[in-house]
Structure 1
Amino acid sequence: MRKRILAAAGALALAALAPFATPATARTEAPVQAAAAPMAVAPYLYEGWGSPPNPAEVMNATGVRWFTLAFVLSNGTCNPQWDGQRALTGGVDGSAISTIRGGGGDVVPSFGGYSGNKLEQSCTSASALAGAYQKVINAFSFKAIDIDIEADAYSNATVQQRTVDALKTIRANNPSIKIYVTIGTGQSGPDTSLINRAASSGFAADAWTIMPFDFGGAGQNMGTLTTKAAEGLKNALKSAYGYSDDTAYRHSGISSMNGVTDQSETVTVADFTTILNYANSHHLARLTFWSVNRDRPCGSGGADSCSGVSQSNWDYTKVFAKYAG
C-alpha cells in the first residue's frame, strides 16, 4: 500500500538516480488541451512536503483542472485538519484551493492515507465521523470527497463499519456529492472485506479506487499488472453489488504511482498510456495517481518531489489529462 513518507534509505536510493534524470527545462509548447480532464482525473497534490508545485503551472501545462488534495487527518481528537495540524481554512492548503478554483478547477479533499492519525479511528462513532467529514465539506462546499483507507484503519473491522455508516450519512445529507473510496490491492485485485461490508450495509461508492503498486511488481510490466488488478476490482464489485460488467467498470477507479514506487517497481509514462487506454475502454469513474509533486525529474531532492525516472515536467499528468471519461 501507499507509503506517503518514504524511509530515508528509499529516498536516498531514488536520489541516486538523479544523474540519469533529464534536467527540468522550461516548456515552450502550447498547453495541452485535455479531451475532458473531468473530476475523475484529479492527481494527488500534497502541501505537506515534496516541494509542492504551483497548481496553476500544472493546470496551464496539462489541461488538468481538478486535484485531490491530501490529506485530512485527525489532530488527535475527532477534529479534521490538513495533516492533522494545519487549519482547514487559510494557509498553504487554502491558498492552493483558491489558486485551483481561480483557474477554473476544483479540489477533492482526501481523508486518510497511509500515515498519521486517522479520523476514522479517532472519531468513536459513525455520527461523529460523519460530522468530521461534513465539517470539511462545508468549509469549501466540496463536490466530492476521497476516503483513502489504508493500513491499520483498513484492517480493523470496527473502523471499516464506522466508515461505511458515516459515508451513508454523508450520502443522505449531500445527495449530489461524489464519494470515492480508495484502497490497496494485490496483483489479482483487492481484498473484498470493505467492499462486501459496504454492499451489505447499503452503501455504494461512486468509485472504488485501487492503488496498484507496492504489490510485488518489481521487474514486471506495471501497466499490465494494473489492468489485471482492475479486472479483479471489477469482478469484486459485480459479486458484491450484482452489477453488470459495464456498471462495475463505471464504479471502478485506478490510483497509480508515477515513477519508482516504495517497493522499487517502475511505473513508466508508457504504463500510464496503457492505463489510460484501459480506462477509456471501460469508462472508469476515476483515474488518478500519487502524485503531481513527483511528476518531475530528479534534478535534486528526494523521492517525494520527483519520480526517479527520466522525464520532463508533468509528463504523467499530461497522459491522464487525455482521459475522455
Structure 2
Amino acid sequence: MTDRATHVAVRPEYDPLADPNWQEPEQPRSRLSWPRLGILVLVLALAGVGGTLEVMHLRNTSGPTAKSWAVPYVDVTLTPTFQFQDPTANPANDVALGFVVADPQSPCTPSWGGAYTLDGAASSLELDRRINQLRQAGGDITLSLGGLANKELAVACTDQDRLTGAYRQLIKRYDVNTLDLDIEGTAVADQASLRRRVTAVATVQKEREKDGKPLAVWLTLPVTPNGLTDDGVALVRGMLEGDVALRGVNVMTMDYNNGDKNPDMLALSTSALNGTHKQLSDLYLRLGQKLTSPQVWSRIGATPMIGQNDVDTERFTLDDAAGLARFAVDNGLGRVSMWSINRDAPCRGTFANVVVHSNTCSGVDQDALAFSKVFAGLPGKAATGGSADSVEIPDQAATVDDPKTSPYPIWRLTAMYVGGYKVVWHGVVYEAKWANSGLDPSAAPAAGTQSAWSVIGPVSPVEKAPRPVPTVTGVKRIWAPGILYQRGARVMSNGLPYEARWTTKGETPSTEFPIDADDPWKPLFNVPGEPVMN
C-alpha cells in the first residue's frame, strides 16, 4: 500500500531549519484578529492549491471507485485451440484475445499472430463464431494488438491512412468495445510508431463515439518493481496528449529479473502497481487533470504471468493470485488479467524441482483453471449465461437444420464421433470433446458430469453446406449397383472418391457424414468439421 503520509507532506519553498542565520521569533507573538485570520486561511488555501497540487490528488477520500474486472488473455493461435466460449473450459465472463499483428507479407494488413488472416481465423479457428457464442452467453471480448512476438501494426505499417484503415477494419469486424494495445520490446521507445498509433486510435475512437459506440482503450506495458519505465511513461503521455481517451494502463507484473533467488512475486507486483499509481497521478496532474487516488487506481490494470515466469526463479503462485485479487478489490484496481488462460493447468508428468516453461501449463502445483477461478470472483462484471456445463440457446429445439445451409454435418444419433469432430444441431455448431455416440449435443449433462460436446456458436444464415475435399486424384470409375467390387477398388460416387474396404456389391457409398467405420466404402476425402488425422 502507498504510504500517503509521506506523499502528502507539504514541500515549502524555504526551509528555516536549513538556514544557519535563522532565529526563533521572540515571544509573545501578536495575536491575529478574526478578519486577519480569515484572510490568512484563504491565502494558505490558495497557496496550498499551487504548492501541493502534485500530492493532493493522492488523498484517498472516498474508497475504491471501480469494481475490479477480470479479463484473462487467450492465446488465440496456440495449439490446442482454447475454447474460451465454453463455460466448462473458461470460468471468466470476458476474455482478451491476443494477438493481432501485422501480416508478415503485408505490413498494413492485420493478422492473427502472423499465421492467420482474419478470414482464415474465422474458418480455421472458428474465431468469429466463438466470439458470437461468448456474447450470446453474456460475455465479451477485448481485442489485443501487439505482444512481444511479431510486429505490431503501427510499427510495421508506415502508411498512416492504411494503418487507420486496418484499425477501423478490426474494430468493425469484431464489433469491439474495448481495445488493448500491448506494446513491448523495442516498440515502447519507437516514437514514429507511437505517433502513427495515436493518430489511428484517436481517429477510430472519435468515429465510434460519433456512432454511439464508445471505444475503451487500454495500454498494456512492461513494468519494473518501481513502476513504468521512462519510455512507458512517455508512451502514456503521448497517447493522452494525442487526444486518445485512455481507459487505463495495464502493467505486466512479471519477469522482473531483479536478481533475487527466491523473489516474493506478490510483493514485487504490489510495489510495481504502487509505483505506477504515483507515476500516473503525477502525469495526469501535469496534463491538467486532478484525480483522486481511487480514480487513478481505476485506471490501472495488472497482468501477472501465472505459474512459472520466463525468469527461472520467478513463480507466481495461487497464494500470490489470491493476494493480488485482494489488493485489486481493496484499491479498486480497474482490471486484472493474466497470461494466459491457456496455461491455467498443471503440467503432466513429474516435474519436481524442475523449471517448466510451457505455453499450455503453469509449471506449478495446481488444479485445472485454479488461477482463473481466483480472478473470476472479482466483482467487476458478474458472469451471466448458462450453467457451468451448458449454455442456454433460446428456441434451439425449434430450429430445423438444413443440410444446404449447415457448414458442418448435421448430428446423427447413430454416428460415432471422434474427438474434435464438429457438427450442427438445431442451428448451433458443436465440437466433440472426446469420442462419443448417441449423446445429444444440446442436452444438459447429468449432475456431476460434463457434456461430451463444446458449444462453438450459432450457425449464420448465410452459410452453406460443407464441400468435401478429395485427398486423391485420378479416380474416374463411376460406381454402379450391379458390379462386384474387390477390396481396394476405387470409384467415384456423387462426385467423390471412395475405396472398397472389402468385397462389396450393391451397397451405395454413403454420404452420411461421418461415414461409419463398418461401411464398405472408405471415403477418400475430408469433410469440413472432421479432424484431420496425422
Q: TM-score, normalising length from structure 2?
A: 0.51
Given residue 278 of structure 1, which amino acid in structure 2 is its aligned partner?
Answer: F
Say whether 1:322 aligns with 2:377: yes
Looking at structure 1, the residues matched to 81 and 184 of structure 2 have their Cα atoms a distance apart, in angstroms, of: 23
Paired residues in the alignment total 287
CA displacement, residues 105-162 of structure 1 (integer Å, 9 cap, x when unaligned): 2211110000112201122144432221111111121111111011121121211222
Unaligned regions of 5+ residues in structure 1, if any? 1-37
1:181 pairs with 2:224:
no
Give the structure with the larger helix fraction. 1
Name the CA distance, whole Å, in 2 between partners of 1:71 and 1:288. Answer: 15
The yes-or-no answer on 1:71 pairing with 2:92 is no
Could you tell me the percent identity over the aligned residues? Answer: 26
| Post-superposition CA distance 1:23-53 (Å, at most 9, x none) | xxxxxxxxxxxxxxx9932111113225333
Q: Which residue of 1 aligns with 2:280?
A: 237
Query: Residue 40 of structure 1 corresponds to which residue in structure 2?
Result: 69
Kindly state the Cα deviation for residue 302 of structure 1 after the two structures are TM-superposed.
6.0
Look up the SS of the partner of 2:224 in the other structure. coil
Task: Confirm or deny: 8 A CA contact 1:199 1:240 kept in the other structure.
Answer: no
Q: Is the 8 A contact 2:308 2:357 kept in 1?
A: no
Given candidates 160, 178, 183, the residue that maps to 2:194 is 160
Decide whether the 8 Å contact of 2:227 with 2:273 is kept in 1: yes
2:360 is the counterpart of 1:305: yes
Q: In 1, Cα distance between the equivalents of 2:280 and 2:239?
A: 11
Change (3 A) 1:140 1:199: closer
Q: CA deviation at 1:177?
A: 1.4
Q: What displacement does 1:282 show? A: 1.8
Code of the residue aligned with 1:131 in structure 2: it is G
Q: 2:80 aligns with which of 25, 37, 51?
A: 51
Pair 1:275-2:330 in alignment: no
CA distance 1:199–1:177, shift in 2 (3 Å): closer
Residue of 77, 80, 86 corresponding to 2:116: 86
Looking at structure 2, the residues matched to 267 and 52 of structure 1 have their Cα atoms a distance apart, in angstroms, of 24
Alignment of 1:286-297 (within 5 A): 286-297=335-346
Alpha-carbon distance, 1:98 to partner? 3.4
C-alpha deviation, 1:237, in angstroms:
1.2
The one-character-per-residue Cα deviations of 1:188-234 (angstroms, maximum 9, x if unpaired) are 10121212222333334101000011112552111111111111111
In structure 2, the residue matched to 1:194 is: 235
Partner AA of 1:73 in structure 2 = V
Give the residue type in structure 2 aligned to 1:196: R
Read off the aligned partner of 1:108 and give its amino acid letter.
T
2:206 is aligned with 1:206: no
- Once the two structures are superposed, residues 226-250 of structure 1 have per-residue CA deviations (whole angstroms, 9 ceiling, x without a partner) of 1111111111111111232121111
Match of 1:20 in 2: none
Larger radius of gyration: 2
Say if 1:50 and 1:293, in contact at 8 Å, map to a contact too.
no
SS at match of 2:142: strand
Which secondary structure does the structure 2 equivalent of 1:108 belong to? Answer: strand
Using the TM superposition, give the Cα deviation of residue 104 of structure 1 relative to its aligned residue in structure 2, in angstroms. 2.5
Whole-angstrom distance in 2 between the partners of 1:319 and 1:262: 22
Map of 2:315 onto structure 1: 266
Match of 1:215 in 2: 256
Cα deviation digits, residues 166-205 of structure 1 (max 9, x gap): 2211221122111111000111101212122223333341
Specify the SS of the correspondent of 1:184.
strand
SS in 1 for 2:99: strand
Q: Contact (CA 8 Å) 1:206, 1:285: kept in 2 or not?
A: no
> In angstroms, what is the RMSD of aligned CA positions?
2.0
Match of 1:22 in 2: none
Please tell me whether the aligned partners of residues 188 and 228 of structure 1 are also in contact (alpha carbons under 8 angstroms): yes
Alpha-carbon contact 2:310-2:357 (below 8 Å) kept:
no
User: What secondary structure, in the 3-state scheme, does the structure 2 residue paired with 1:290 have?
Assistant: coil
* Counterpart contact for 1:84–1:116, Cα < 8 Å: yes
In structure 1, give the amino acid aligned to 2:360: S
Q: Is the 8 A contact 1:65 1:105 kept in 2?
A: yes
- Larger relative contact order (Cα-Cα within 8 Å, sequence gap ≥ 6): 1
State the partner residue of 2:424: none
Is contact 2:68–2:328 with CA below 8 Å preserved after alignment?
A: no
- CA drift at 1:278: 1.2
Provide the secondary structure at the position in 2 that maps to 1:305: coil
* Aligned residue among 287, 292, 298 for 1:250: 298
Contact 2:223–2:251 (CA under 8 A) maintained in structure 1: yes
CA distance in 2, matches of 1:125, 1:283: 40
1:106 & 1:204 partners in 2: Cα distance? 21
Q: Deviations over 1:256-304 (max 9, x none)?
A: 1100011121001111111111111122221101000000000169600
